[in-house]
Amino acid sequence: MTIGIPRSMFYYYFNKKWKYFFDYLNINTIISPKTNRKILDNGIKLSTDEMCLSLKSYIGHVDYLKDKCDYILIPRIDNYGYKEQTCTNFLAIYDIINNIFDIKILDYNIDLEHHETELDGLLKLSKILKRTKTKIKKAYEYACTMEGKDKKKIVIDNMNKLSSKKTKVLLIGHSYNLYDSLIGTPIINYLEKLNCEVIYSDRFDYQSTKQTVLKYSKNLYWRYSKQNISSLKYIDKVDGIIFLSTFPCGLDSLVNELVLRKINKPYLNLILDDLGGIAGMETRIESFVDIFEY
């Protein structure tokens, strides 16, 4: 058995956990390559105009994997508890993919408000994975432990960057945008070319930063948007902020606007669409960084 994992959306939150989990169970996995123009264009062809660029990219990654594996891993994630809701796409992707492609999907639910945990969902896959529930539970515990250790290292590294002597730019965005090779990577590379220290909004300890969200909204209930905004706890330690979104993300269009009105720090709001490339963005980024020198 080979499990396909699209290198998009969920991947950037769970890839380490999934790797440890399937390696422990000795199950083969195949990960789609980094996003390229062909993958994105194929995703766009299979999408509707209303879908955000990130979702179109995800569909392109599924299209790449569809004939290369036995199952494609696509979880449904509704919420992580009260006022910890995810984007609608995280719940709908399963149905979207199931309607577009004729493939076998390996899925599980996360809906903590209704007591559906990640472990419970994985245990229900025991027959498909041909592993005992005891084995799956051990694999999950191992994966969580190892992932936790990796995250601690990432958080420490991100925190250390706050002491850098370089121009420090806080990059705020969803993980699946920040690290995508067509969306966030070119922007990160260009900032580094300008000798900036890039600090990532998703690489802080959310438990220690989440109270910061209350400064900007007492009613916000989207988990990953809250995680992004909570990084503003360290706003005084950075020189400027770049908000990175993909068009037409409903969450970011609301949340970013809410934050932009309440911060007193140089910022740049970047929104990428289907046309791709950051050639037009480079001048804006360079001008933004020039502000700090004056």
SS3 269: strand
User: Residue 292 — pLDDT band, cuts 50, 70, 90?
Assistant: confident
Q: What is the pLDDT of residue 294?
A: 78
Q: How many angstroms from the chain centroid is the CA of residue 80?
A: 15
- Does 164-293 match 2-149 at the fold level? yes
Domain 2-149: state its class.
alpha beta
The average pLDDT across 60-76 equals: 98
**Helical ranges in 130-180 per DSSP H:** 133-160, 175-178
Question: Rounded distance, CA 62 to CA 81, Å?
Answer: 28
Antiparallel, parallel or unpaired: β 109-111 and 167-172 = unpaired
Q: What is the pLDDT of residue 293?
A: 73
What is the architecture, at CATH level 2, of domain 164-293? 3-Layer(aba) Sandwich (3.40)
4 backbone dihedrals φ, ψ, rounded to 5°: -90, 135
Q: What is the pLDDT of residue 97?
A: 98
Q: What is the pLDDT of residue 291?
A: 87
Each residue of 179-212: pLDDT tens digit?
999 999 999 999 999 999 999 999 999 999 999 9
Average pLDDT over the chain reads 95
Q: What is the pLDDT of residue 276?
A: 60
Radius of gyration of the chain (CA): 19
Q: What is the pLDDT of residue 274?
A: 78
Q: What is the pLDDT of residue 182?
A: 93
The average pLDDT across 143-164 equals: 98
Name the residue with higher pLDDT: 280 or 141: 141
- Over pLDDT 90: what percentage of the chain? 94
Question: Rounded distance, CA 235 to CA 219, Å?
Answer: 21
3-state secondary structure 12-79: HHHHHHHHHHHHHCCCEEEECCCCCHHHHHHHHHCCCCCCCHHHHHHHHHHHHHCCCCCEEECCEEEE
> Can you give the residue ranges of every domain in the chain?
2-149, 164-293
Each residue of 50-59: pLDDT tens digit?
999 999 999 9
Q: How many CB atoms lie within 10 A of CB 237?
A: 14
Q: What is the pLDDT of residue 277?
A: 63
User: Residue 255 — pLDDT band, cuts 50, 70, 90?
Assistant: very high
pTM: 0.95
